[in-house]
Amino acid sequence: MKSPVPRFRDVERQAGSLQPTQCVPPCHDRPNTMWFIRDACGIVCGVITWMLVFFAEFVVLFVMLLPSKNLTYSLVNGTIFNSLAFLALASHFRAMCTDPGAVPKGNATKEYIESLQLKPGQVVYKCPKCCSIKPDRAHHCSVCKRCIRKMDHHCPWVNNCVGENNQKYFVLFTMYIALISLHSLVMVVFHFLYCFEDDWTKCSSFSPPATVILLILLCFEGLLFLIFTSVMFGTQVHSICTDETGIERLKGEVPTWEKIPCWEAMKLAFGGPLSLSWFSPFSDLSCRTNDSASIPEAPQGEIIEEDVIEIPLR
């Protein structure tokens, strides 16, 4: 039944998206299938990200480290840079291919609402775009075409939304990219100083003009991404500590949920107490205690037409 209750949730509307015929019965997502968004812009941005990391890898190895006469310097810096670059790309892959917390599509059925065992008078909201019952703090993403739990934003650089299930990997991605950017900038400075003191023809296997151009490009790339990823890393940690996503802060939503302390929020986002697994993109969020993993399977049925459903009083 329709309800005059004010709509505090963001039920996005478009002219053609409110037709019930566009809502299909729920097709249950397999929990172990890989998540991948088929968005041309996101795919291009993801490929560019990997190409930029490989370009930095090329310049660091073949322009600065391999021609160096100091074997210890080359081994130490090569190990550090390659390890951080590997962790950055692994974090990017996990952020891109992990379900960010998508709500089951098309579960706005009478049977599903009854299975929730809600209290009389309680109000639930249906997303008119993906025809799903929107949990608290879920928002619809027009690129992913799904409602995402605790959606922070959609990032084209990882071709995915940043939500409750992959925020850890996005934070690690920005952190490791910032670290390799800073490391490459330091090595560029030392290499310039070394080449100024020595003969330019001996400090690199490339010609002096090519060496200068490659180092300047790497310096520009490192500086740009150091600033960008550092800002993103800071905003993500701030969002976690304040228990408020970027889209909630942007829309000025009044918190209706009970906020948790910063350290508890960090443990929830990274999957448990502080340990080395916090910094590993290969560890899953198995220690989480939220209800995202206990969503009941939606029974088959016809999609409800109303966007606001109030449980009738008995």
Over its length of 314 residues, how does the chain's per-residue pLDDT go in tens digits? 333 333 334 333 333 333 333 454 443 344 456 799 999 999 999 999 999 999 999 999 999 999 888 899 999 999 999 999 999 999 999 999 999 999 988 887 878 877 777 777 778 888 888 888 888 899 999 999 999 999 999 999 999 999 999 999 999 999 999 999 999 999 999 988 888 877 776 777 888 889 899 999 999 999 999 999 999 999 999 999 999 999 999 888 888 888 999 999 999 999 999 999 999 999 887 545 444 444 445 456 677 766 666 666 55
Q: Is 141 a catalytic residue?
A: no
Give the pLDDT of residue 310: 66
Give the pLDDT of residue 68: 86
Domain locations along the chain: 40-283+301-311
Cα(37)–Cα(34) distance, rounded to whole angstroms?
10
Choice among 23, 141, 155, 195 that is catalytic: 155
Amino acid at 42: G
Cα(55)–Cα(53) distance, rounded to whole angstroms?
5
Task: 216-222: list long-range contacts, CB under 8 Å, 24+ apart.
Answer: 217/55, 217/59, 218/55, 218/56, 218/59, 218/60, 218/63, 218/184, 218/188, 219/185, 219/188, 221/52, 221/55, 221/56, 221/181, 221/184, 222/56, 222/181, 222/182, 222/184, 222/185, 222/188
Cα(167)–Cα(28) distance, rounded to whole angstroms?
23
Q: For the chain, count helices (H), then strands (E).
A: 7, 6
Give the pLDDT of residue 3: 38
Q: Which residues contact 87 (CB under 8 A, 6 or more apart)?
A: 172, 176, 279, 281
One DSSP character per residue, 269-312 reads HHTSSSSGGGG-TTS--TT--SGGGGPPPPPP-PBPS-SEEEPP
Give the pLDDT of residue 39: 95
Q: Work out the burial of residue 261: count CB atoms within 10 Å of its CB; fewer than 13 is exposed, 13-18 middle, 19 or more buried.
A: exposed
Give the pLDDT of residue 1: 37
